[in-house]
Amino acid sequence: MHTKGTTSKFGVIEHYRKYLPVTESTPVVSLGEGTTPLISCPRLSKRVGRAVFVKNEGANPTGSFKDRGMTVAVSKAIERAAKVLICASTGNTSASAAAYAARAGISCAVILPAGKIATGKLLQAFAYEAKIVAIDGNFDDALRLVRELGQGGDFVIVNSINPDRIAGQKTAAFEIVDDLGDAPDFHLLPVGNAGNITAYWAGYREYHVFGNSTKLPAMIGFQAAGAAPIFYNRLIEKPETVASAIRIGNPASWKQALAAITESHGAIDVVSDEEILAAQTWLARHEGIFVEPASAASIAGLFKCCDSKEAAYSFRKIPEQSCIVCTVTGNGLKDPDVIVARVKELKSVPATVNEVRRVVGL
């Protein structure tokens, strides 16, 4: 799979140093993020009648793509002698910030919407011993607080409004081009605060300028139907979706996301919670890739785009000869609540061969 460009260098800063805002004197804070698998998916490709690769960002050190941006943001923060990091989070930013702060030996405050964080992600923030503040409010409220606190000079903000985060996250696009030997025709991904679609588009453009690819992909972003401010072109006061990582009503990188979509001749669309959960189950069952609900939005979107019967919206269909990459943004173990309900139905049986055969159905 790795045709060129990838080596055993540790972490995205060492891999892609010349494309990143670091110098020889930047202290590199890394947990070996990046170099995630770009998985060729035969059953998924057959299902949609097009060549599909899944970029599995759940394989990063804390289980989401946030680590790519965090290694750069925290390294730069240390270079600037930061003492305390701060972020608002739907879960994965706090997990990543807490881990990289621990790695760097500084402290990290995370502002979370109370009761809205997936179990695995909250557990990570506790495990890395971040200073955790749960607020009565949603993610958008938490980010507003963080912006205010960041002005005082005590805290360095490591949300994706920090440009070092976006710079680091570009490396996912670089890896895809390195692995495929060129850019794909279409790139599908979930959109929440819209930092990632911004970063991918910047990455594809930059790599193209450097002559590493011959084309640019159309960027197609998917929001959850109950949290789709960009799609509906208005603020969503109370965003609701099972996909907690994209439960955002006022995306920080709204304008940049629109630019990525327009410049790349892409689109923004919505998928329902039912479609998201069905896609999550499908990907685990048929390709062995277990992702969190927010991540499955790209797969749900793929099904919507490629299945003409279901494509109820007006952007051009994906031609059959296309090469498609879907980013799945985070590991399924982070957000297990939907599946835990199924686990609880498991009943024990007597320890006999006959009972095992009966339950297995053979």
Ligand X SMILES: *Cc1c(COP(=O)(O)O)cnc(C)c1O
DSSP state of 333: G
| Closer CB to ligand X, 36 or 196, in the complex | 196
| Rounded Cα gap, residues 334 and 58, in angstroms | 9
| Rounded Cα gap, residues 142 and 239, in angstroms | 14
Distances in Å between the alpha carbon of 115 and those of 13, 138, 244, 352?
35, 10, 11, 43
- Applying CB under 6 A, the span of 1-9, 12-20, 123-131, 192-200 interacting with ligand X comes to 192-200
Radius of gyration of the chain (CA): 20
Minimum distance from CB of 242 to ligand X (Å)? Answer: 13
For the CA atoms of 176, 182, 188, 194, the dihedral, rounded to the nearest 10 degrees, stands at: 70
Nearest to 218 by CA among 278, 267, 169, 253: 267
Residue 295 as a binder of ligand X (CB under 6 A): the answer is: yes
| Rounded Cα gap, residues 91 and 335, in angstroms | 10
Residues 6+ apart with CB under 8 A from 17: none
Query: Binding ligand X by CB under 6 A: which of 30, 36, 75, 160?
Result: 160
Distances in Å between the alpha carbon of 269 and those of 47, 130, 134, 216, 261?
20, 35, 31, 20, 11
| Closer CB to ligand X, 6 or 338, in the complex | 338
Residues 43-82 that bind ligand X (CB under 6 A): 64, 66
Residue 245 as a binder of ligand X (CB under 6 A): the answer is: yes
| Closer CB to ligand X, 117 or 294, in the complex | 294
Query: Binding ligand X by CB under 6 A: which of 120, 266, 330, 332?
Result: 330
Query: Binding ligand X by CB under 6 A: which of 11, 34, 192, 217?
Result: 192
Query: Binding ligand X by CB under 6 A: which of 190, 229, 249, 266?
Result: 190
Instruction: Give the DSSP per-residue string, 220-269.
Output: EEEEETTS-HHHHTS--SS---S-GGG--SS-TTHHHHHHHHHHTT-EEE
Distances in Å between the alpha carbon of 18 and those of 23, 38, 167, 336?
9, 23, 12, 38
- Applying CB under 6 A, the span of 73-81, 151-159, 291-299, 311-319 interacting with ligand X comes to 291-299
Residue 332 as a binder of ligand X (CB under 6 A): the answer is: no
Residue 92 as a binder of ligand X (CB under 6 A): the answer is: yes
Contact 195, 201 (CB under 8 A): no
| Closer CB to ligand X, 164 or 292, in the complex | 292
Query: Binding ligand X by CB under 6 A: which of 193, 241, 250, 256?
Result: 193
| Closer CB to ligand X, 77 or 166, in the complex | 166
> Helix %, strand %, coil % for the chain, to 5?
45, 15, 40
Minimum distance from CB of 92 to ligand X (Å)? Answer: 3
Residue 329 as a binder of ligand X (CB under 6 A): the answer is: yes
| Closer CB to ligand X, 250 or 322, in the complex | 250
| Closer CB to ligand X, 106 or 257, in the complex | 257
Residue 298 as a binder of ligand X (CB under 6 A): the answer is: no
Q: In what order do the strands lie in the sheet with 131-135?
A: 131-135, 107-113, 84-88, 155-157
Residue 249 as a binder of ligand X (CB under 6 A): the answer is: no
Residue 258 as a binder of ligand X (CB under 6 A): the answer is: no
Residues 6+ apart with CB under 8 A from 92: 62, 63, 64, 66, 121, 245, 329, 330, 334
| Closer CB to ligand X, 15 or 66, in the complex | 66
Query: Binding ligand X by CB under 6 A: which of 195, 217, 229, 332?
Result: 195
Residue nearest to ligand X (CB): 330
Residue 188 as a binder of ligand X (CB under 6 A): the answer is: no
Query: Binding ligand X by CB under 6 A: which of 246, 268, 279, 299?
Result: 246
| Closer CB to ligand X, 51 or 73, in the complex | 73
Binding site for ligand X (CB under 6 A): 64, 66, 92, 160, 190-196, 245-246, 292, 294-295, 329-330
